[in-house]
């Protein structure tokens, strides 16, 4: 988007907004949410404003049309103290500079809690997947995304000359991974299901997950998106049948096992892949990463860590879905718990030695 298209909506100095947008944001801050109705009598440069469906966060998004273009406004709590050091802005710059396709930031106003972003449209990877006609088309879509995963791991991870990012100091260590396990036990089993877990069963959960988390924490680390699933990848048309696949919602990125984002993507709560497709896609990832890194990857070990990561990651997602109801009164994500538990079940069935964990997890879920 050029300056002429933005007109009053964007000035050339980061941290400022056109007067019409300032007025609109101040209007929102007063508690009035009727966005389109406000436009008619209060702005010359803005033609239309539409509030977009929210994600799982507390941020709000608005699509804003000018005469010549459109862009998206992300509204959050004011971030004056952090300013341009806001994690989203720091990581957007880092990822963009390293060739990772993320939304372009057009302007920033910390005082009003505003970030203006390029308009990527409304089509997510999930929507594309829901409309695929053949397994081959499904594979092709995922392979394009896996190319980005490999680039993220090889280009955005710390190396000589990398900036000293806060995200590089954070990692999925044993403590963090076990905190997530306890989060699900509290929010899903104890609060949402209102189940009292017997001491011996809780011991099985804690011992097995601690074993998993120890193995995961011992793995070499790469930069991880942390929430890399089909709803956090936008598919923006660029001509013909081609799409840009753009990562969003990356502000919580940190260091973790290479299998972390892979498990999030291929054992997605929102879209279930057949096991044969997962096997093909993991092998595609491994071949590509080996080719670009020049390092051979042990298949048996990689798969085991991938499976352990999948169980831990899916288990945490179940807790998150329950917490949206418990904390915010939002039941909209409960419908994804069934698919997510099915991912856990299918993975644990591959390991007879973990039958005790499988039996305990599903006893309190089904009975």
CA 64/CA 137 separation, integer angstroms:
33
Residue 32: its pLDDT value, please?
Answer: 60
pLDDT in tens, 38-70: 676 667 778 888 889 876 677 899 999 988 889
Residue 93: its pLDDT value, please?
Answer: 97
Matching residue, tokens 């069934």: 338
**Which residue(s) pair with 116 in the sheet?**
73, 107
The secondary structure of residue 32, as a DSSP letter, is -
pLDDT in tens, 152-188: 999 999 998 889 999 999 999 999 999 999 999 999 9
Tell me which residues of the chain have a pLDDT lower than 70.
Answer: 1-17, 31-38, 40-42, 55-56
CA 178/CA 172 separation, integer angstroms:
10
- Per-chain mean pLDDT for the chain: 91
H runs (alpha helix) in the chain:
3-6, 19-29, 35-42, 87-97, 125-130, 135-155, 174-184, 199-217, 259-266, 275-293, 299-328, 337-348, 355-366
CB 139 within 8 A of CB 153: no
Domains belonging to the chain, first-starting first, are: 17-118 (3.30.200), 125-366 (3.90.1200.10)
């Amino acid at each position: 988007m050029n300056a002429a298209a933005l007109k009053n909506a964007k000035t050339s100095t980061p941290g400022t907004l056109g007067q019409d947008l300032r007025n609109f944001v101040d209007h929102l801050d007063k508690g009035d949410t009727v966005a389109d109705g406000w436009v008619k009598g209060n702005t010359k440069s803005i033609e239309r404003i539409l509030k977009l469906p929210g994600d799982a966060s507390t941020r709000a998004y608005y699509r804003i049309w000018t005469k010549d273009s459109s862009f998206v406004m992300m509204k959050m709590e004011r971030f004056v103290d952090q300013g341009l050091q806001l994690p989203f802005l720091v990581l957007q710059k880092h990822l963009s500079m390293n060739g990772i396709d993320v939304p372009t930031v057009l302007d920033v106003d910390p005082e009003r809690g505003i970030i203006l972003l390029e308009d990527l449209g409304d089509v997510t990877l999930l929507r594309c997947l829901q409309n695929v006609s053949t397994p081959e088309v499904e594979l092709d879509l995922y392979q394009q995304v896996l190319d980005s995963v490999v680039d993220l791991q090889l280009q955005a991870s710390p190396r000589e000359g990398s900036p000293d990012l806060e995200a590089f100091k954070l990692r999925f260590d044993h403590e963090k991974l076990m905190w997530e396990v306890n989060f699900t036990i509290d929010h899903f089993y104890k609060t949402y299901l209102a189940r009292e877990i017997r001491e011996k069963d809780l011991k099985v959960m804690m011992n097995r997950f601690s074993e998993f988390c120890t193995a995961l924490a011992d793995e070499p680390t790469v930069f991880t998106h942390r929430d890399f699933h089909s709803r956090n990848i936008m598919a923006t048309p660029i001509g013909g049948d081609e799409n840009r696949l753009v990562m969003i919602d990356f502000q919580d990125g940190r260091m973790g096992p290479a299998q972390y984002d892979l498990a999030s993507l291929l054992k997605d709560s929102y879209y279930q892949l057949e096991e044969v497709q997962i096997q093909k896609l993991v092998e595609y990832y491994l071949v590509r990463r080996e080719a670009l890194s020049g390092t051979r990857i042990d298949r048996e070990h990689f798969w085991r860590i991938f499976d352990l990561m999948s169980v831990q990651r899916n288990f945490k997602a179940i807790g998150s879905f329950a917490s949206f109801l418990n904390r915010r009164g939002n039941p909209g994500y409960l419908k994804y718990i069934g698919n997510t538990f099915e991912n856990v079940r299918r993975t644990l069935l591959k390991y007879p030695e973990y039958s005790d964990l499988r039996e305990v997890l599903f006893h309190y879920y089904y009975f």
